[in-house]
Every structure is written in C-alpha cells, then in structure tokens.
Structure 1
C-alpha cells in the first residue's frame, strides 16, 4: 500500500524535474526571442548589407549596446581582406579610409607598445607573424580565413599548427565561439568570464557574414562574457563564429555613418561616445568590388 502511495508522488516529482530541464534547455531560443522583440534600429547601407543597432536592458539582465553588420555574401558586391601594420599602431577608421573600405572592424591581438600582430597572420599567401609563446592556446584556437577564391570563413586551428593552413589570408584569434552550429565551451579564465567590450565575426547557414561589436565598460553598456557572446552569435544564426580582440580595441566603422564612420562606442577614452577608438595593428576590411570582377 505504501508503494502505491509513493508512486504518484514519484511521478509528480519526475514531471517537475522534467519541466525544469525543459525550461532551461532552450536558452538560445529565449535569447533569440528577446533579440526579435528588442527595439533594433535598422538601416540598409548597400546591396545585401544591413546595419542594426540595439541599446537597452533586455539581454543578460544588463544594459547592452550592440552593432551588427549583416552582409549577404550571395548578393553584396564586396570583398573581405585583412589590413595590418608591422611597426605602427593605426586606428581601425584610418585603416578603413586608407584602403577605400565600405566597413571595417578591428582585428586580433597585437603588441600594444611595439605594434605588430602577436598571433598568426598570413596575407597574400605569405606568413607575416606567428603566435608568441606566451599566448594562451584558447585565445588563438581559430582564425578568420580567406581562401584563394576570396571566400571568407571561420576555421579551427589545424592539429599540426597554423603553418599547415592553406588559406591565402588568415588571422588567428579566439576563443572560437560557435562551431558546426553549436556554441563552444569556454575555458574558465577571467578573460572569458568577465564582461568586456567584444568584437566578433560569424557566418550563417544561408551565407551571411555578421560583424558584431558589443560595447562595454560603461553604465550605458556593460559588455559581455565570451559565453554570453557565444550565445549571442549562435542566436543570431551563426554556424561558426570567433571572438576577436576586444576591450578598448572594439571598433566598428561604416562609411558615412556615426562619427567619422565610427558607429559603436569605443571605450579607450572611458567615455560613452564615438571618440574613444584605440589604435591597433590589424583589422578586417569590407571593400566594394564591381560585379564584373565577381
């Protein structure tokens, strides 16, 4: 008799646990719903190119400032390339203007005193820099790569090392955020777990490239951990995505928009404005090409 009385209680408890697990499982869907419900400012900036901006309290129980440049690679007449300097530090906006870009975001890690990349960098088929020995592996476990046909992608670091990549251009960074449609597990280090300004690039299943900046270090913009950033990129539809250099380096530039092209709120001047851009050693450029050359 006691067993019969316990059975309904056990079933009830099992249902409760099941409901709790079900409620926690669709985390990406919940973020997706919040993103769709959020008040985004949207603007078309060219064929197959749309710029979106969000500023509000709807994500991660925090105030966020997010820019997304969505480029449909099936339609946009653009090329993706890497700009770099071995000896000088140059602002992303200056890299962009000097190279006739439509848009740009800052690239990967660099020597803040001497300049030059501190992670693997390959341009025009030639290796320009190798990762320094003191760089943690999780911070250069992937790369933004461009093959000989000009197609950009996020690639995982080859088991035999970066020298084995056959990409025409590649810039290592990390951590890898999303791979094969799934968010990656983050190494439990302060670099990942603390909230900072962040820059990321990702690719969707339908061949869109997303350039993303998340502002931070301000009461108007808290920044994100890399786990939150991975969830964001996944919720935006990315099948693959990588974290780039962040902090004071985080910059998005779009020709003719914002303040002298800077549309996010770089934090290097400790003010929530468009003036706090940090000089960097490399960046990712989006340049216009004619349809005839495609």
Structure 2
C-alpha cells in the first residue's frame, strides 16, 4: 500500500494545479482587470469644435449649432423602445470611448459613467470587446487587437472617417487594411440588422443561446451625417423585449440603410442629457446598469 502513496500524491497535486489553472483562466477572462493601454478620452484627430454653442434642450431633444437629437419612445411587440434620431454637421461628433479610457482585460464602467467622463450628450453601450479574447478592436483609428473573432460570420460594423457605415468580415480583411482604408471605429458584435436598406436577419436569427425576446441596442445610418440609435427594454413585466428580427423591423421603419446589433441583454443602456433613459436589467428583478467595456456616443 505504501507504494501507492507517491503516485496518489502526484495525481492529487496535478489535479490541484489543473483546477487552479482553470480557475485562474476563468478569473482572468471574466473578473481580473488588466490594463494594457491608456487612450485619449476623445478622438484627438477630430477637427470639430471643442464646445457646443447655442444649446437648447428638453427632456426629449437636444440642439446646438452642430448636433440635433430627438428622442422618441414607442411601444411595439409589448416592448418599450427608445429611438434617438441624430443629425450632425460632421462625422466628428460620432465618437467612441473605452471604460476608464483604458484598453485592457475586464476594464469596465457603467455606460453613464463613461458617457459623463467624456461629456457625451447621447450614449449607448458598445460591443463589450472585453468579454471576448479575440476579435478586432479599432477605436479612433488605433488598432488595439487584430485577432479574428470566433463568430466572424456575424460581421463587424466599420465606421469610416467620413461617417459612413459598412458591414465587413474579419476573415476577408485585416485590421490594418481597414485602418488604411479609412476606418476609425469598428464594432464587433452583430449581426448586421439592415444592409442596403433591407432587413438582413430572419425570424430565427439569434446571438448564441440568447432568448428570442431581449433588451436590445443597435445603431444605424439613415443618410449622410444622419444616424439612429435604438434601445429596447426587456425581461420585465412592463416590457417583454425584442427579437433581432423585430429590432430590425423598427430600424427599417425609420429608413435605416445600414444598422448593426450592439451588445444587448443587461448591457443595453441609453444615456441622454445627463441621465439613463431606459430601464437596464439583467434578469428583470433589478433595474440597474451593467458595467461594460465601451460606449458609442454623440458629443464634443
């Protein structure tokens, strides 16, 4: 029996190391923060004015010399949906920001916190790049990650310096080629909801194992310097949530030519004029913001 003690001990040690390694891997992926690069709070290449002039605001609108936003709340499919119609004089006012102005692993903050720290007028959660270990990350013309993501078939939303939108596939173009071609921001979640003015998903399309009815966030372009951001509440008694197809229907109704699904569920958050407008929730029991990696916003 004594001869069995060493092999048993070695096996026990190996098992502990294996378990510890797996646990650390999970912690590193989902919990432990690791800052890699500090970034500028705003797009430093912007030629836009540094502060707004002739500002006029209401609970549902914002207007100045360069930005006009009108917020509408509608009900469809037993769901409360917030629609922000956005006109800007220049694409410089369509921006992105990373939580804590830092690129890294599990660097997060509430959408409202990142929006406030960047003086955003309107903001929505982004693609939550930090929840994935792969996938292109391009912000303000800088490449932070250039590895192809697992669900690359969903496509990415490329936002160009002239403000135009295009759906791209990471398997068909490199991150550097995108930047060389004028891409300043890239969002990698998806899928595309509208392409060439037509709905690009069907009634069975879904993200992973997500439920059909969910809180949703999406961004689209209607015309030059004319954008739309849509956020749907969900998972509550008051608001059921939308399927991807239903979200696409809303965007098509507002004449979006290209529209893209952002991170949804508990991440879906719409910030406007200094406050959260929707009711973000993960499970429907508590209305509270989830901390996320990044935002898309309108501001200076």
Aligned match of 1:254: 272
244-253 or 216-225: bigger deviation: 216-225
CA contact (8 A) 2:123 2:298 kept: yes
Deviation at 1:160, TM superposition (A): 2.1
* Closer, same or farther: CA 262–231 of 1 in aligned 2, 3 Å: same
Q: Report how far residue 188 of structure 1 moved.
A: 3.9
Structure 1 regions of 5+ residues with no counterpart?
Answer: 1-40, 289-294
* 1:183 corresponding residue in structure 2: 199
* Match in the other structure for 1:287: 299
TM-score between both structures, scaled by the size of structure 1:
0.69
Q: C-alpha distance in 2, partners of 1:100/1:185?
A: 34
Q: Contact 1:138/1:174 (CA < 8 Å) preserved in 2?
A: no
- 1:80 equivalent to 2:94? Answer yes
**Within-5 A mapping of 1:1-294:** 43-47=60-64, 48-54=68-74, 56=75, 59=76, 62-74=77-89, 79-84=93-98, 85-87=103-105, 88-112=107-131, 118-130=134-146, 133=149, 135-139=150-154, 141-147=155-161, 149=162, 151-157=163-169, 160-163=172-175, 164-165=177-178, 166=181, 167-186=183-202, 188=204, 190-191=206-207, 194-205=212-223, 207-256=225-274, 261-268=275-282, 270-271=284-285, 273=287, 276-288=288-300
In the TM superposition, what is the alpha-carbon distance from 1:101 to its structure 2 partner?
1.1
Deviation for aligned residue 1:132 = 5.7
Measure the CA separation in 1 of the matches of 2:221 and 2:239.
Answer: 25
Q: Are the aligned partners of 2:96 and 2:140 in contact in 1 as well (CA < 8 Å)?
A: no
SS of residue matched to 2:72: strand
Deviation at 1:236, TM superposition (A): 1.2
1:131 and 1:143 map into 2 onto residues whose CA distance is: 16
Structure 2: state its 5+ residue gaps: 1-57
User: For the residues of structure 2 that align with 1:216 and 1:155, how far apart are their CA atoms?
Assistant: 27
Taking the aligned partners of 2:239 and 2:201, their CA distance within structure 1 comes to 24
Change (3 A) 1:239 1:219: same
Q: Normalising to structure 2: TM-score of the pair?
A: 0.68
Secondary structure at the counterpart of residue 188 of structure 2? strand
Q: 1:179 to 1:250 in 2, by over 3 A?
A: same
Which SS does the other structure have where 2:250 is aligned?
helix
Structure 2 residue matching 1:229: 3-state secondary structure = helix
RMSD (CA atoms): 2.7
Number of residue pairs the alignment of both structures matches: 229
